[in-house]
Amino acid sequence: MSLIVQKFGGSSVANADRVRNVARIVTETYRRGHSVVVVLSAQGDTTDDLIAKAREINPKASKREMDMLLSTGEQISIALCAMAIEGMGYQVVSLTGWQAGMLTNSAYGGARIKRIRTERIQRELDKRKIVLVAGFQGINKYDDITTLGRGGSDTSAVALAACLHADLCQIYTDVDGVYTADPRKVKGAYKLEEITFDEMLELASLGAQVLHNRSVEMAKRYNVNLEVLSSFSGVPGTKVKEVVKTMEKSHVSGVAKDKDVARIALIGLADEPGIAFKVFSLLARGRINVDIILQSIGRSESKDISFTVARGDMEQAQALLEKNRDTLGFNSIEVNDQVAKVSVVGAGMVNNSGVAAKMFEALFSAGININMISTSEIKISVLVDERDADRAVQAVHDRFFSEFGSGN
C-alpha cells in the first residue's frame, strides 16, 4: 500500500458534478488500497471573486484580512468534497491549513511553508480515512491565517507529499499535462511525456501557470515523484523528474509567456563606477525584484540602464527612483507596462549553438521587435510589446516544434 497526494485545481471542483468527479477519482484510488491525501483549490473563479468583493469594500485592505477572506474559498471546496465522499459511503475528514499543521512565515499573501506538523493527518490516515486538506493556506506564529500566493495549492500538495514521504504527488488540472506551450493559446502545442525539474521550474517561473513555481522547487529539493494530469480525460499525464530519457535529444522543451512584466529605463546616467550598484541596491532595499537588466555602452560620459520588474512593483520602483533622482543623477525615467516576456526553455540548449539565432529568426520573420534579451544555460527570454506577445509565442513555437513535434 502506498501513500498518494492528489491535488485538484479550481476548474476541477468548479461545480457539483465536478466535485463528484473528484470524489470518484479519490475513492477509486482509495479502493485500490492506497492512503489518500487530497488538496483542493477554491471552486472556479472563487478567489478572483473574493478579491473583487474585497476591493468593493476597501481597495487598500490589509494583507492579513485579505488572507482571512481568500482562505475561505478552499474551505468551501474541502467541505463539499468531503460531503460527496461521505455520500459514497467512505470515511473522510476535511482539514483547514491549520488543522493540517501547515506552519508558514508571516508574509501574508505570499507566505512560505516552514514546516508541517503532520500528526493530525497521520492519525486520520491511520484510521483509514481519506484526508482532504485546504490548499493555498497555512497559519503563522501568531495563529493568523496566511495564504501562499496565487496558484499556491500546488505548493501545499507538494509540501505535504514531501513531509508525508508520499510515493506519488498527482496534480490534477484542466489540461492533460505539461505542454510545449499553453495548449489553450498555441496551435500545435503537444503534451510532454516527461520534463526535468529544472526545465519545469523555468517554465513555471517564466509564465506557464500549470504548476506553481515554488511547488517545482520543492519537488526538486525533496525529490517528490510528481505528475501533472487531467481530472477530466483519464489519459496519462506528464511526469516531472530529475532526469528524463529524452534529455539528450531535444534542445528546447517549451515556450512560455509572462505578462506580469514592466520595463523601467533610466536615461542619461553618469558613465562612472558605482552607478549600477546605487540603482539596484536602492531597489533591493525597497524589496523590489529586478529581472532582465540592460546597460548601454557609455557615450559622451553618459549611459542608460533599463530593467524589468513585476507590474505590481512598477509604480513603487518609479517613485523610489524619482525620490533619489539627485543622488543617482539621471536625466529622465521611462516606464512601460505594455510589455511581455517570451521565453524558450530547454536543458539541451547548453550544448547546442544556434538556439538563440533560431528564436530571433522566428521573431524577425513574424516582424516582431525585441526590446531586451536575457539568457541562461537553459533558457532564452526576450521582452516584446505586449500586443505582439501571443504572435511571438506562436512563431517561436512553430519554429522549434514543427509538424511532428520534433522540430528542434
Q: Which positions touch ligand ADP (CB under 6 A)?
A: 9-12, 41, 151, 173-175, 178-179, 181-184, 203, 208-210, 254
Give the three cell numbers for residue 79.
Answer: 467541505
DSSP state of 42: P
Number of shown-chain residues binding Mg ion (CB under 5 A): 2
Q: CB pairs under 8 A, 24+ apart, for 294-302? A: 294/372, 298/271, 299/271, 301/270, 301/271, 301/272, 302/268, 302/269, 302/270, 302/271
* Closest of 40, 13, 33 to residue 171, by C-alpha: 40
Pick from ligand ASP, ligand ADP, Mg ion, none: which does 29 bind, CB < 5 to 8 A by kind?
Answer: none
Which residue among 97, 101, 151, 346 contacts ligand ASP (CB under 6 A)? 151
Nearer to Mg ion, 151 or 177 (CB): 151
We find the least distance from the C-beta atom of residue 73 to ligand ADP, in angstroms, to be 12
In the complex, minimum distance from the CB of residue 137 to ligand ASP, in angstroms, rounded to a whole number: 9
CB of 216 to Mg ion, least distance (A): 12
136 binds, among ligand ADP, Mg ion, ligand ASP, none (CB under 5 to 8 A by kind): ligand ASP
- The contact pattern for ligand ASP, residues 314-333, with x = CB under 6 A and - = no contact, is --------------------
Tell me the C-alpha distance between 165 and 162, whole Å.
5
- Can residue 97 be called a binding residue for ligand ASP (CB under 6 A)? no
Contact between 10 and ligand ASP by CB under 6 A: the answer reads: yes
In terms of CB distance, is 157 or 396 closer to ligand ASP?
157
Q: Which stretch binds ligand ASP (CB under 6 A): 146-154, 158-166, 195-203, 293-301?
A: 146-154
Nearer to ligand ASP, 69 or 355 (CB): 69
Alpha carbon dihedral 134, 109, 163, 14, in 10-degree steps, equals 30
Site mask for Mg ion (CB under 5 A), range 151-180, x = bound: x-----------------------------
Q: Tell me the window of 81-89, 145-153, 190-198, 350-358 that interacts with ligand ASP (CB under 6 A).
A: 145-153
Nearest to 159 by CA among 137, 130, 177, 129: 137
Collect all residues with Cβ–Cβ distance below 8 Å to 138 and sequence separation of at least 6.
97, 98, 102, 103, 104, 111, 113, 145, 146, 147, 148, 156
When asked if residue 73 is in the footprint of Mg ion (CB under 5 A), the reply is no
Stretch that binds Mg ion, among 5-13, 27-35, 120-128, 341-349 (CB under 5 A): 5-13
Residue pair 7/77 in contact by the 8 Å Cβ criterion: no
Residue from 135, 138, 237, 254 touching ligand ASP (CB under 6 A): that is: 135
Which stretch in 100-108, 147-155, 295-303, 341-349 sits in contact with ligand ASP by CB under 6 A?
Answer: 147-155
For 248-295, the three-class secondary structure string (H helix, E strand, C coil) is HCCCCCEEEEECCCEEEEEEEEECCCCHHHHHHHHHHHCCCCCCCEEE
Please identify, using beta-carbon distances, which residue of 69 and 208 lies nearer to ligand ADP: 208
Nearer to ligand ASP, 310 or 333 (CB): 310
Q: Is the distance from CB of 100 to CB of 113 less than 8 angstroms? A: no
Give the three-class secondary structure for 56. Answer: helix
Eight-class DSSP state of 311: G
Residue 268: CB minimum distance to Mg ion, A = 43
Q: Does 73 bind ligand ASP (CB under 6 A)?
A: yes
Identify whether the C-beta of residue 137 lies closer than 8 Å to the C-beta of residue 97: yes
Q: Does 170 bind ligand ASP (CB under 6 A)?
A: no
* Contact window for ligand ASP (CB under 6 A) among 148-156, 248-256, 320-328, 397-405: 148-156
**Cβ atoms of residues 197 and 250 within 8 Å:** no
What burial letters (b/e) apply to 375-399, b meaning 16+ CB within 10 Å? eeebbbbbbbebebbbebbbbbbbb
Sheet-wide strand order for 379-385: 254-258, 339-345, 379-385, 372-376
Binding site for Mg ion (CB under 5 A): 9, 151
Binding site for ligand ASP (CB under 6 A): 9-10, 41-42, 47, 73, 135-136, 150-153
